[in-house]
Chains A and B, each alone.
Chain A
Amino acid sequence: MPAVNIIPLSAYLVAAILYAVHFVRRSAPLGRAATTALAGGALAHTFIIGMQTMQAGHVPFAGTSQAISIFVCLLALAYLYTEMTTEERAMGVFIVPLLVLLQALPVVSPGAERRAEVLDSPWFGVHVSALLFAYASFALACMIGITYVLLFKEIKAKHLGFFYARLPSLQVLDAMNLRAVTIGWVFLTVGVIVGAIWAVEARAGAIADPRLQAMSLNDPKIFVALICWAVYTFELYARGVIGWRGRRAAWLSAIGFAIVLLNFVPIGYFLTKSHNF
């Protein structure tokens, strides 16, 4: 992948700094500038991915780095959507730095230019898009959960300070968390099922690829993905049935996303034998 990835990276970096200053100083113009920078970055990013799609004839999913880049773009768009629907900018300071960190990966390690022959299947596109979208939702849920815990602690400790003055209400944060986790869970489920169908189909096909043989529960990437699914399923169940809302749900989303990140970056780059495209 060419060095164009540095364009959205710089925009995200500028946005991250602006969001941080906006959060501390609470200046509305700075907040608008931050949103503008982020929207600019996300637009440029979408455009770049679009161009690559045109060039390659398919969505550029060839390899972990490209997948991360698309994930970053999706997360930026998902965050911008929440910002617009909730008119709440305080969360940017937690999300945008994550965009910067993750976008740095494809810039540093561009990864494969061409995708393997075995991936030439419509199932593959659905599988990867669904999972990336799920991960973006989980990232949002995690950040919202962290802010929930920060605010919760201030209110419980009866020391109303920094976050009390800057964050939306606990109720709003909790509802946002639920929405993000639900959307993420649906896409995760779809992604995993489609992946399984595709693996079965590909094995029956003509192409012999050692990675296909590795696609089983013994592979760390697949195994950890299923753990993720279990964690988020439990979060939704516990919230609905036992009444684990608020802080407990927030912690579960944080744990879930930590596993997602683990699966996405170290396992995706180094450990998996089935998904090392």
Chain B
Amino acid sequence: MHLFLLGVSHRTAPVDLRERVDFSARGLDTALSALAERSTSSEAVVLSTCNRSELYVACDDVAAARRDLVDFLCSFHRLAADAVTPHLFEMTDAGVARHLFRVAAGLDSLVIGEPQILGQVKDAYQQAAEQQCAGALLNKLFHWSFLVGKRVRSETAVGEGAVSVSFAAVALAKKIFGQLGGLNVLVIGAGEMGKLTALHLKAQGIRQMAITSRTTAHAAALGEEMQATVVPWESRTAALGEADIVITATGSTLPVLARAEVEAVMRARRNRPLFLIDIALPRDVDPAAGELEEVFLYNIDDLHAIVQENLQRRGGELGRAEAIVAEEVEKFAAWLRSRSAIPTVVALRQRFEAIRRSELERLQPKLASLPPDVRARVDEVTHLIVEKLLHTPTEQLKAVPDPETMDIYSDALTRLFSLGLADGDDGMRRPPRTRTAVSPEGERPAVPVTDKKPVTS
């Protein structure tokens, strides 16, 4: 069984193509059920965001799955194959894990370390799991990717620092005031950028928001939209005394707030800190106001500079993040390899169990004279011997480091123990029996022996 990934992303396809292969438009559930009707892959997860559309599948034949998925992609979105094919990328096995881990950690995103993608990966998996499209292989892969996403975010600074102007302003406000819960915000001017920043602040649960603008109609409209009190332009200085955070975004060509004005306000508020966010161009607040004690003045350029710095810092963390991904991919690959041992392990166990059972059956006449508890003990001891004999070879087989050696080992085991098709004569094809077959009056409940240890672990 192989992992296979086929998709388009912002790295391989222009935005108009990405829009046309977006699965979320017609619903992931439709896509998943359409995919499930095709028989080349046994498991599937569809990840579709504005920056990527990716099909994760588990299949036996990679070449067939590729053909089938390209066909599916084209027919589902009604696109010509040659329009899509040049923009497709694909991965197999550990490559799929590497890609998904990087995606979940936000390393493949347009803005490095952005936090939404992990939630989108989780949703994609959740949807597939609900429609029973994800099986053992994709379950493991996706849960692993959630852990990698979390690990990268907690152990590196790749997701730290605001990367948009309004978030940078909110982060600064938090660093100055701690909790924003009890704060008053005053918005001066009705500019779009000011509104956006005010909305972000509002989402932090501030106490009160007031809006003032030279044009009363603008202030009234914005005030209604944002559920904020409207302050007449003339009483803005009084409102300034009440506010902890002031956002200025007027279209005025002259400064709206002079240093002397701010100084007077600060005296009245006995130096309670004041955070002035000047998003207007040209500037609304006299830069000299920022020299006052307990006044923190940031203009749009300062905020842009912070965003740039944060982006650079995130980029600087990439190396450490990639190292974590590489480490996890290595572990996942080891798990994948150990899975390829499963058929051999199962066959080997069945073989041993069959031998044990046929020997017990052969001794049935002699054993029949023994008391039930002794017969149960015989059953238990023989079972334990088989378990002990198989333990080391099973572990060794699962730890084989590469596929070639795995083939050699499996082949050797198949030959040495005549596993496979030729062993129908000693119980391999019989349904699994329970212990009660040997000790019908045994006190223990009838537990199917072959189910005792799940081999998929």
Question: A residues engaging B (CB < 8 A)?
Answer: 26-28, 151, 155-156, 158, 160, 164-165, 168-172, 242-248
Contacts and interface: CB of A to CB of B under 8 A. Distances in A.
A170 B273 contact: yes
Contact of B271 (A164, A169, A170, A246): A246
Interface stretch (B103-111, B175-183, B339-347): B175-183
Given A156-B296, A243-B272, A27 B155 contact: yes
12 contacts: A155-B175, A158-B305, A160-B172, A164-B175, A169-B175, A169-B178, A170-B178, A171-B178, A172-B178, A245-B272, A245-B294, A246-B271
Contact of B176 (A171, A243, A244, A248): A171
Contacts of A156: 290, 296
B178 A155 contact: no
Contact of A169 (B155, B174, B298): B174
B176 A247 contact: no
Interface in B270-286: 270-273
A252 to B, nearest CB: 14
B271 A245 contact: yes
A160 B294 CA distance: 17
B176 A170 contact: yes
B309 A155 contact: no
Contacts of B178: 168-172
A155 B160 CA distance: 17
B157 interface: yes
B30 interface: no
Contacts of B294: 245-247
A171 B305 CA distance: 24
Interface residues of B, number: 26
Interface of B: 154-155, 157, 160-161, 172, 174-179, 269-273, 290, 293-294, 296, 298, 302, 305-306, 309
B165 to A, nearest CB: 14
B271 A171 contact: no
Given A170-B175, A171-B273, A246-B293, 7 more contacts: A155-B172, A169-B177, A170-B176, A170-B273, A171-B178, A242-B270, A246-B294
Contacts of B172: 155, 160
Nearest to B162: A160
Contact of A160 (B179, B271, B309): B309
A103 B177 CA distance: 36
A242 B178 CA distance: 23
B314 to A, nearest CB: 12
Contacts of A151: 175
B179 to A, nearest CB: 8
A158 B298 contact: yes
Contacts of B273: 170-171, 246
Nearest to A242: B270
A28 B296 contact: no
Contacts of B298: 158
A5 B159 CA distance: 44
Contact of B160 (A27, A165, A168, A247): A165
A164 B272 CA distance: 20
A217 B298 CA distance: 51
A172 to B, nearest CB: 5
B161 to A, nearest CB: 8
A243 B298 CA distance: 23
B433 to A, nearest CB: 50
Nearest to A246: B294
Contact of B270 (A28, A155, A172, A243): A243
B177 A171 contact: yes
A158 B276 CA distance: 13
The 8 closest A-B pairs by CB, nearest first: A243-B270, A243-B271, A169-B178, A171-B178, A172-B178, A158-B302, A171-B177, A169-B175
A28 B306 contact: no
B428 to A, nearest CB: 50
A153 B177 CA distance: 15
Contacts of B306: 158, 160
A170 B306 CA distance: 19
Given A171-B177, A172-B178, A243-B271, A28 B154 contact: yes
A245 B272 CA distance: 8
Nearest to A168: B178
Nearest to B298: A158
Contacts of A248: 293
A246 to B, nearest CB: 6
A244 B267 CA distance: 11
Contacts of A26: 157
A33 B217 CA distance: 59
A165 B157 contact: yes
A27 B157 CA distance: 11
Most chain B beta-carbon contacts within 10 A, residue among A158, A170, A246, A248: A158
A175 B6 CA distance: 55
A78 to B, nearest CB: 21
Nearest to B293: A247
A28 B153 CA distance: 13
Contacts of A170: 175-178, 273
A107 to B, nearest CB: 37
Contact of A155 (B154, B157, B269, B296): B296
Question: Which of B174, B175, B271 has most chain A Cβ within 10 Å?
Answer: B175
Nearest to A167: B175
A169 B155 CA distance: 22
A116 to B, nearest CB: 49
B306 to A, nearest CB: 6
A170 B290 CA distance: 17
B321 to A, nearest CB: 15
A244 B272 CA distance: 9
A171 B181 CA distance: 13
Contacts of B269: 243
Contacts of A28: 154
A218 B453 CA distance: 85
A111 B404 CA distance: 73
B271 A244 contact: yes
Contacts of B302: 158
A26 B175 CA distance: 17
Contacts of A246: 271, 273, 293-294
